[in-house]
C-alpha cells in the first residue's frame, strides 16, 4: 500500500524547506524528503542574503551574521572601485543553523519529515503520482497528488515531470574561516578575474565573525581547486589568515541560464535551482528560491483546490524569463571578458559616474528576481494561453 500525501516535496534545501513550510501552513498534508540525514550537513552555498530578501522575508536572528554595507571591486592588475551603501545590504547566513531551524518549524506545523530518502522514480497513478523512494537500503512508496522538485541544479524530478532542465552552469568553490581578525567595517571583496574566475567572480566576505572566500566560473575554463589557492593567497594579502582556522570547504554547481520556461505540469512543479532560479548575472540563488517557493506554494494550494490549469499558468517560467533579458545579456558580456586588457577596460568604465551607478544598481539594487507574486499582466497572459496548446504538459 504505502503512504499517501497531498504534496511530496523532494529536497530540503532553502527552496524545499520554504515550500513545505508554506504548504503545511495552509493545512495540506505534506511530506518533505531529502537524501541527506540532516539538511544542515554538506552546505554548498556561501549564504549571502541580499537586502531584498532581508526586507521581504523573516529569518531567525541567530541564523544571520552582522550586516555588510561596503563592497570593493578589484582587478588582478590592481585597479579597484569601492562602493558603500547607507543601508545594510548583505548578511551571511549561518546556513546549517538556518536549515535546521526551518526544519524544526516545518515539523512543528505537521509536515512529515523523511530524512535519508532519495527520489528514485515516479509513475502516473490517476491524477497523482506513485513515487518510489530509496530509504537506507529499503524501498518506500508514496502516492502524491503533486510532486515538488526542490532537488537542486540537476533535478531528477524535472526529468520525470518532463519539464525543462538546466544547461548552463558555473561551478563555485569556497572556504569558511573563523578567528581571522578584521580591521574596520564588515566587507565584501570581489575580484573580476578572467583567469581564476572565468565568467564570474572571486569573492571574500568578512562580516566580523566569519570569513568566506571562494571563486566561481565556467567549468571548462579553469581548475577551481588551483584557482581557490590563488584566491587564498590574495585574501592573505588583505587579511591575516595565519590567525584563523579553516572550518569548512563548500562547493557546487550554479545554474546561470536564467529561470527555465516550463517549470510546471499538472503532476508537479519545480522550485529553486531545479527551476533555474539563480540570477544569470550575479548567480545569487537564495532570494529567487524564497520568491519562487512563495509563488509555487500558493499555486499548488489553489490548483489542488480547483484542478484549474489557469492556476498553474501563473507558474510558467516564460512569464519571468521576459524580465531576465538584460541579465542574460550581461551574463554573455561577463562571459566574454577573457583577457586582462578587457577587465582593465571594464574597470575604467566602472570608475566613471555611469559605471559606478551601474555597479551600485547590481550590488545594492532590489533586482535579483522579478516580483513573481505580481498579478498577471496582459503581457504575461500570452504564455498562459500557450498552456492550452500544450505549454503545460501532462507527463506520461
Ligand X SMILES: Cc1cc2nc3c(=O)[nH]c(=O)nc-3n(C[C@H](O)[C@H](O)[C@H](O)COP(=O)(O)OP(=O)(O)OC[C@H]3O[C@@H](n4cnc5c(N)ncnc54)[C@H](O)[C@@H]3O)c2cc1C
Separation CA 237–CA 225 (nearest Å) = 19
User: Least Å distance between CB 364 and ligand X?
Assistant: 15
User: Least Å distance between CB 36 and ligand X?
Assistant: 5
* Contact string 316-335 vs ligand X (x = CB under 6 A): --------------------
With binding defined as CB under 6 A, does residue 46 bind ligand X?
A: yes
Which is closer to ligand X, CB of 217 or CB of 391?
217
Separation CA 167–CA 287 (nearest Å) = 21
CA angle 152, 154, 160 (to 5 degrees): 100
Separation CA 150–CA 16 (nearest Å) = 5
Residue nearest ligand X by beta-carbon distance = 285
Q: Which of residues 192-221 bind ligand X (CB under 6 A)?
A: 214
With binding defined as CB under 6 A, does residue 12 bind ligand X?
A: yes
Separation CA 99–CA 229 (nearest Å) = 29
With binding defined as CB under 6 A, does residue 118 bind ligand X?
A: yes
Which is closer to ligand X, CB of 12 or CB of 235?
12
How crowded is residue 3: how many other Cβ atoms within 10 Å of its Cβ?
Answer: 16
The length of the chain is: 396
Q: Which of residues 153-192 bind ligand X (CB under 6 A)?
A: 156, 172, 174
User: Least Å distance between CB 89 and ligand X?
Assistant: 12
Number of residues that bind ligand X (CB under 6 A): 38
How crowded is residue 261: how many other Cβ atoms within 10 Å of its Cβ?
Answer: 17
Which is closer to ligand X, CB of 106 or CB of 384?
106
With binding defined as CB under 6 A, does residue 149 bind ligand X?
A: no
| Stretch of 108-116, 135-143, 283-291, 342-350 lying at the interface with ligand X (CB under 6 A) | 283-291
Which member of 5, 20, 28, 44 binds ligand X (CB under 6 A)?
44
Which member of 76, 285, 335, 383 binds ligand X (CB under 6 A)?
285
Separation CA 123–CA 121 (nearest Å) = 7
User: Least Å distance between CB 45 and ligand X?
Assistant: 3
With binding defined as CB under 6 A, does residue 10 bind ligand X?
A: yes
Which member of 193, 210, 273, 298 binds ligand X (CB under 6 A)?
273
Which is closer to ligand X, CB of 27 or CB of 365?
365
Separation CA 235–CA 23 (nearest Å) = 43
Which member of 54, 131, 263, 286 binds ligand X (CB under 6 A)?
286
User: Least Å distance between CB 9 and ligand X?
Assistant: 10
With binding defined as CB under 6 A, does residue 265 bind ligand X?
A: no
Which member of 45, 227, 265, 297 binds ligand X (CB under 6 A)?
45
| Stretch of 280-288, 295-303, 357-365, 370-378 lying at the interface with ligand X (CB under 6 A) | 280-288
Q: Are 213 and 150 a contacting pair, CB within 8 Å?
A: no
User: Least Å distance between CB 308 and ligand X?
Assistant: 27
With binding defined as CB under 6 A, does residue 40 bind ligand X?
A: no
Strand partners, 169: 255
Which member of 250, 267, 291, 319 binds ligand X (CB under 6 A)?
250
User: Least Å distance between CB 171 and ligand X?
Assistant: 7
| Stretch of 234-242, 247-255, 304-312, 386-394 lying at the interface with ligand X (CB under 6 A) | 247-255
| Stretch of 42-50, 54-62, 122-130, 183-191 lying at the interface with ligand X (CB under 6 A) | 42-50
Which positions touch ligand X (CB under 6 A)?
10-16, 33-36, 39, 44-48, 118-119, 150-152, 156, 172, 174, 214, 250-252, 254, 272-273, 278, 284-287, 289
Amino acid at each position: 500500500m504505502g503512504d499517501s500525501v497531498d504534496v511530496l516535496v523532494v529536497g530540503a534545501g532553502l527552496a524545499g524547506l520554504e515550500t513545505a513550510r508554506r504548504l503545511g501552513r495552509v493545512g495540506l498534508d505534506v511530506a518533505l524528503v531529502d537524501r541527506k540525514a540532516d539538511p544542515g550537513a554538506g552546505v554548498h552555498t556561501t549564504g549571502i542574503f541580499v537586502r531584498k530578501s532581508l526586507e521581504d522575508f523573516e529569518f531567525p536572528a541567530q541564523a544571520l551574521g552582522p550586516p555588510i554595507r561596503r563592497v570593493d571591486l578589484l582587478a588582478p592588475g590592481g585597479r579597484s572601485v569601492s562602493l558603500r551603501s547607507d543601508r545594510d545590504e548583505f548578511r551571511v547566513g549561518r546556513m546549517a543553523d538556518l536549515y535546521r531551524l526551518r526544519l524544526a518549524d516545518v515539523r512543528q506545523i505537521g509536515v512529515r519529515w523523511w530524512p535519508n530518502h532519495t527520489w528514485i522514480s515516479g509513475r502516473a497513478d490517476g491524477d497523482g503520482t506513485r513515487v518510489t523512494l530509496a530509504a537506507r537500503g529499503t524501498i518506500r512508496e508514496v502516492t502524491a497528488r503533486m510532486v515538488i522538485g526542490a532537488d537542486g541544479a540537476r533535478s531528477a524530478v524535472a526529468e520525470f515531470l518532463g519539464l525543462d532542465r538546466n544547461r548552463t552552469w558555473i561551478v563555485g568553490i569556497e572556504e569558511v574561516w573563523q578567528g581571522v581578525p578584521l580591521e574596520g567595517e564588515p566587507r565584501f571583496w570581489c575580484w573580476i578575474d578572467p583567469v581564476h574566475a572565468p565568467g564570474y567572480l572571486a569573492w571574500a566576505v568578512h562580516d566580523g565573525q566569519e570569513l568566506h572566500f571562494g571563486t566561481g566560473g565556467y567549468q571548462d575554463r579553469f581548475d577551481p581547486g588551483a584557482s581557490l589557492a590563488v584566491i587564498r593567497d590574495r585574501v592573505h594579502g588583505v587579511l591575516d589568515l595565519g590567525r584563523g582556522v579553516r572550518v569548512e570547504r563548500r562547493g557546487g554547481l550554479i545554474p546561470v541560464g536564467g529561470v527555465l520556461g516550463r517549470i510546471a505540469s499538472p503532476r508537479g512543479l519545480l522550485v529553486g535551482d531545479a527551476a533555474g532560479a539563480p540570477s544569470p548575472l550575479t548567480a545569487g540563488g537564495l532570494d529567487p528560491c524564497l520568491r519562487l517557493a512563495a509563488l509555487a506554494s500558493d499555486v499548488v494550494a489553489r490548483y489542488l483546490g480547483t484542478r484549474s490549469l489557469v492556476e498553474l499558468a501563473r507558474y510558467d517560467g516564460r512569464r519571468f524569463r521576459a524580465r531576465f533579458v538584460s541579465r542574460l545579456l550581461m551574463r554573455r558580456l561577463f562571459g566574454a571578458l577573457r583577457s586582462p586588457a578587457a577587465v582593465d577596460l571594464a574597470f575604467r568604465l566602472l570608475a566613471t559616474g555611469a559605471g559606478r551607478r551601474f555597479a551600485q544598481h547590481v550590488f545594492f539594487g532590489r533586482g535579483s528576481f522579478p516580483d513573481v507574486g505580481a498579478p498577471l499582466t496582459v503581457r504575461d497572459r500570452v504564455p498562459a494561453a500557450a498552456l492550452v496548446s500544450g505549454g503545460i504538459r501532462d507527463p506520461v
